[in-house]
Amino acid sequence: MKKIKFTLFFVLIVTLFGTTSSCEKPLNLFSVNDDIEFGKQFDQEIKNNRDFVILDEKQYAKAYQIINQYKSKLLATEKVDYFDKFSWTVRIIRDDNTVNAFAVPGGYLYFYTGLINILDNEAEFIGVLAHEMAHVARRHSTAQLTKAYGIDLLLSLLLGKNSNQWVKIASGLASGLLELKFSRDDEFEADKYAVRYTYVTDWDARGVADFFKKMDSQKPIPTFLSTHPADKDRIAAIIKEFEALGGVPGKTFEENYKIFIESLKN
Ligand SMILES: [Zn+2]
């Protein structure tokens, strides 16, 4: 209760004094600990929701071993904000027809098999993984949820009330209809940080650009693009960041990626 009171007090302070700020960033009324608590509850809700068929970690031990290794290598760069504070839990959702991924606050990341299967190498997958991690680490997800649903509703969710609303938000995420549409600025920032995280690893840091090129050529338009609008400017900005860091190419690891795809088969 104390935490909620504090949050409400904080809301009041921001409301009173925040409006004079010329900062264009959307207000984020969540604390970092709220992100963690919110993510935990959200993840529970997703696990309980029948719209999401989450691959079992024991049955698909190999797939989880690979995806967790990818994640750990990115976290080991120590370039990801809250690398040692957020949960950074990765889950794989069985749906071969949905080309999508999403992240919720506190470091819970969800990848559809439809997205994993469509990619050709590790660098492309790392690009999208790093991009989703950046949305969490830069706390875009919380800011967007606050904007879409309002602080009152989110606080009532944190208090364990309003379970119908959880179902609504979770199924919105499943269909890609949730207004968790990131702003253009957030997308550019997530791309930029994805390049930064990846540049210090073995993987080629332009993987995220290759991923977007691939998404662009898909018919019908992948769900991912409806929540992460892409265009040529984004790809150019990714290459520019890569060049600014020194432009040293990394590896793409086609063969290793085939093992990952294989591990998802029944
Ligand atoms: Zn995005």
Coil, strand or helix at 45 = helix
* CA–CA distance, 208 with 130 (Å, rounded to integer): 8
* CA–CA distance, 96 with 93 (Å, rounded to integer): 9
pLDDT at 247 over 80: yes
Identify the weakest region by mean pLDDT among 113-122, 142-151, 167-176, 243-252: 167-176
In a domain, 20, yes or no: no
In a domain, 249, yes or no: yes
In a domain, 25, yes or no: no
* CA–CA distance, 174 with 101 (Å, rounded to integer): 9
| Ligand 1 center from residue 7 Cα (angstroms) | 27
| Ligand 1 center from residue 2 Cα (angstroms) | 34
Structural domain count, the chain: 1
Identify the weakest region by mean pLDDT among 15-29, 99-113, 122-136: 15-29
More confident residue, 228 or 85: 85
In a domain, 16, yes or no: no
| Ligand 1 center from residue 202 Cα (angstroms) | 23
In a domain, 134, yes or no: yes
| Ligand 1 center from residue 14 Cα (angstroms) | 27
Which protein residues have their CB within 5 A of the ion that is ligand 1?
Answer: 187, 190, 228
pLDDT at 209 over 70: yes
| Ligand 1 center from residue 207 Cα (angstroms) | 14
Digit-coded pLDDT (tens) for 174-195: 555 454 677 888 889 999 999 9
| Ligand 1 center from residue 227 Cα (angstroms) | 7
Structural domain for 180, as ranges: 30-262
* CA–CA distance, 16 with 10 (Å, rounded to integer): 10
In a domain, 21, yes or no: no
Digit-coded pLDDT (tens) for 48-73: 888 889 999 999 999 999 999 999 99
Q: Name 85's Cβ contacts closer than 8 Å, sequence gap at least 6.
A: 32, 36
pLDDT at 30 over 70: yes
β-sheet bridge partners, residue 90: 109
| Ligand 1 center from residue 13 Cα (angstroms) | 30
Q: What is the pLDDT of residue 191?
A: 95
In a domain, 211, yes or no: yes
Distance, first Cα to last Cα, the chain: 46
Considering the entire predicted model, what is its pTM?
Answer: 0.84
| Ligand 1 center from residue 225 Cα (angstroms) | 9
In a domain, 11, yes or no: no
Mean of pLDDT values over 83-111: 93
| Ligand 1 center from residue 208 Cα (angstroms) | 11
Predicted confidence band at 99 (pLDDT cuts at 50, 70, 90)? confident
| Ligand 1 center from residue 184 Cα (angstroms) | 9
Task: Supply 130's token pair.
Answer: 């790093």
- Give the helix/strand (H/E) hosting 90: strand 89-93
